[in-house]
Amino acid sequence: MFVLLSIFMTLPPLLLLGAESPNAVAFAESAGIIFGLGMLGILIAYGKPRDLKPRYMFVLTVSSWLVMALLSALPFYLSDAGISVTDAVFEATSGITTTGATVLTGLDQLDQDLLLWRSILQWIGGIGIIGMFVAVLPFLRVGGMRLFATESSEWTDKALPRMKTLSRGLLLVYCVFTMIAVFTYWISGMTLFDAFNHGLTSIATGGYSTSDLSMGKFESELILLEATLFMILGSLPFFLFVREMHGQRGVLWRDQQVRLFLTLLLLLTLGMLLYRAIITDGFDIVSGSITTLFNVTSILTTTGYASEDYSAWGSLAFSMFFFLMFVGGCSGSTSGGMKIFRFQLSLIVLREQLMRLLHPRAVLTRNFNGRAVSDEIIASMIAYTFIFLLCFLGLTLVLAAMNLDFVTSLSGALSALTNVGPALGDIIGPAGNFATLPEQAKWALCVGMLLGRLEILSVVVVLSPGFWRS
């Protein structure tokens, strides 16, 4: 992983051909350090057994994201932009976790190699997230992810070819979607540099932009519609695209997660559009429909792009966007949040309890996507939800203890844990950023971003004393 990261770290100067890469030395030094660490690790572990039991997988998953975030901060810190250690780690953590919160201002004048590195980090994080959800978390039984252990790879018989084929398919789909996004943005009026950056961050549902105005810079309704499409694609289960590619037609639409996600997106957009039309004098229905769809999609998919300050749309919009931060996209996608399937499982449990009150002796079955849902999966989902709310409360109180106002503390904690990016309010809302927060708050939010990306439970397991006793 370190060697791969060092290779990616050489891309910004190479893609810019050195002409517009004033920080080429910083990238070279960073890549050299990380490559050396990687080779040292390979030499130390050479010839030793690689039987990764679940216990080791927990440690590997948690430690790899933490260390990758820290090492990814090196180019920011060693650059000529004068970025502090805290800000460098925050920006790198936000990038690798595809959160999209930023502490950098003046993005329009920032060195292009640093802008490119931010986007590459989110692209790396996006494919890493897909791999983690499809290949790691289901087998570690984290947060109900066991539900997708067989579904993600059931379309072939033998285990080894199955995982190899699935891995290649996921990478192929991810790369193809990225190239389509880059090309589409380019022919729609973006410069090649802007198109490349936004193509990477759209599919990764990361939200990093090359301008302080985010997508508002381009003043193009066509680009907003295109970005909406790519954000939606990034929020759907990628293993279903692979199954479609292998001849299983219609599996994407038959998936209960996908249907609820798209239905929810449509209903929320229509509701917000109606609200804006009622409270706004001279409301332009065409332009308003596009901006409403774009911004609702951006928050629901946890991408974090903005075309305007949606917190100024009224109190209903403010409240709705806050609660939308909880939801997120589908499992097996690049998006954050609590994930659609957990809300579906909660509804299944609620329905079961109501039926038992009416018919105490009834024999009830739980089914999701045509499969029985075990008590283990329900218990795991409930445990995740409880620990998520506990972390949300704790992080909010930590931020409030640093003299941040209630809206900033509450929405900042939620934004970090759900990997949304921009929060709400005047300070860290869509019209601001995280630059003015105290250093201690930035470190706390870094922890929150990593917790949210790692589904919280995997971190709690590694930190528990019982994990280390045997």
Interstrand relation of 371-372 and 367-368 (parallel, antiparallel or unpaired): antiparallel
Spatial distance between the Cα atoms of 82 and 87, rounded to a whole number of angstroms = 10
pLDDT at 161 over 60: no
Mean pLDDT value of segment 275-286: 89
Spatial distance between the Cα atoms of 126 and 133, rounded to a whole number of angstroms = 11
134, 136, 142, 143 alpha-carbon torsion, rounded to 10°: -20
Residue 187 banded pLDDT, cuts 50, 70, 90: very high
pLDDT reported for residue 150: 54
Q: pTM of this prediction?
A: 0.92
pLDDT reported for residue 470: 65
Residue 182 banded pLDDT, cuts 50, 70, 90: very high
Least confident residue range of 76-80, 165-169, 218-222, 298-302: 165-169
Question: Do the beta carbons of residue 252 and residue 258 sit within 8 Å?
Answer: yes
pLDDT at 25 over 80: yes
pLDDT at 469 over 90: no
What percent of the chain has pLDDT above 70?
96
Mean pLDDT value of segment 106-118: 94
pLDDT reported for residue 458: 85
Q: For 355-375, what is each residue's pLDDT tens digit?
A: 888 888 877 788 888 888 888
pLDDT at 315 over 80: yes
Residue 152 banded pLDDT, cuts 50, 70, 90: low
pLDDT reported for residue 151: 56
Least confident residue range of 56-65, 116-125, 252-261, 320-329: 56-65
pLDDT reported for residue 155: 45
Q: For 374-430, what is each residue's pLDDT tens digit?
A: 888 888 889 899 999 999 999 999 999 999 999 999 999 999 999 998 888 889 988
pLDDT reported for residue 329: 92
Residue 160 banded pLDDT, cuts 50, 70, 90: very low
Residue 158 banded pLDDT, cuts 50, 70, 90: very low
Q: Give the number of other Cβ atoms within 10 Å of residue 242's Cβ.
A: 25
Q: What value does the mean pLDDT of the chain take?
A: 89
pLDDT reported for residue 432: 84
pLDDT at 287 over 70: yes
pLDDT reported for residue 159: 43
Mean pLDDT value of segment 14-34: 89
pLDDT at 236 over 80: yes
406, 409, 410, 412 alpha-carbon torsion, rounded to 10°: 140
pLDDT at 217 over 50: yes
Q: For 27-73, what is each residue's pLDDT tens digit?
A: 999 999 999 999 999 999 888 877 777 788 888 889 999 999 999 99
pLDDT at 349 over 50: yes
